[in-house]
Amino acid sequence: MPNPLIQMKNQNLYNYILTIADNSLILAQRLGELCGHGPSLETDIALTNISLDLLGQTRSYYQYAAKISEENKSEDDIALLRIEREYRNCLLVEQPNTHFGYVIGRQFLFDFYHFMLMEKLQNSPDEILSAIAKKGIKEVSYHKRFSSDWVKRLGDGTEESNKKMQEAINDLWRFTDELFYMTDAEKEMSKEGIGIEVSSFKEKYYKEVSEVLKESALTVPENKYFTKGGKEGVHSEHMGYILAELQYMQRTYPNMEW
């Protein structure tokens, strides 16, 4: 008879993995929409490569989640066959590619969080999570540098580029607090010493992000109200459209394999 304590621990670990992996999957899907639509060939290829980096990390997480799942799931099942409420990504990453300022603003606000998370996850006693973080942090370091450089170029560029970049930051800022909201699975894994208490680097995050914004001639928003829900499965109106595209092939041709 299965040990219920072990089952509960595995379920918490499974849900914890999803809170990390789903962010990368959905952001990769958003960036994938831009393939062939970047402002220049170099930038287009860079954004596509970031998308591929995130998908590579996602695969590693989902393979681990499938391994510990009690439901005999494959990585494709986890990635492509869940309903909307079962995805645990934050609202920030599902926001649309309104214009290039939004693409960069969304990436910038996520990259700083992602880098700090991976930095700490490298030290997890869970060997698989630690290995994924140690490999992925090199990629995420580049993502952070890429988005920061573009924020500076747009913010401290022309009057029009500054206006567009400020508009994006103002609109996306309300989603940043959710990055540090901890689900029950995150709390349990943090208590076990396996997961990361993301609230521990919240102050550092806002400090470093604000410094880059000021350096870019941009104003740091002073929001009093923030939006959350994605990490608990309550998503924005955009999520259904993302999944319709993401899941199309797998749902149209069930059990299809490469």
Per-residue pLDDT, averaged over 96-124, amounts to 97
Q: Up-side HSE of residue 144: CA atoms within 13 Å toward CB? A: 19
DSSP label at residue 113: H
Distance of CA 254 to the CA centre of its chain: 27
Res. 3: pLDDT tops 50: no
The pLDDT value given to residue 5: 40
52: pLDDT strictly greater than 90? yes
Q: Which helix (H) or strand (E) holds 228?
A: none
What is the four-CA torsion angle of 167, 168, 174, 177, rounded to 10 degrees?
Answer: -140
Cβ atoms < 10 Å from Cβ of 258: 3
CB atoms within 10 A of CB 86: 12
Report the C-alpha gap between 72 and 74 in whole angstroms: 7
pLDDT tops 80 at residue 100: yes
Residue 4 pLDDT > 80? no
Question: What's the pLDDT score for residue 246?
Answer: 94
Burial class (CB in 10 A: 0-12, 13-18, 19+), 157: middle
Average pLDDT over residues 81-105: 97
What CATH class does 4-252 carry? mainly alpha
pTM for the whole thing?
Answer: 0.94
Report the chain's mean pLDDT, rounded to a whole number.
93
pLDDT in the model for residue 2: 45
Per-residue pLDDT tens digits for 174-224: 999 999 999 999 999 999 999 999 999 999 999 999 999 999 999 999 988
- Nearest-angstrom CA–CA distance, 109 and 226: 14
- For position 158, what pLDDT does the model report? 96
Residue type for 130, please?
S
Across the chain, the runs of DSSP E, i.e. the strands, are none
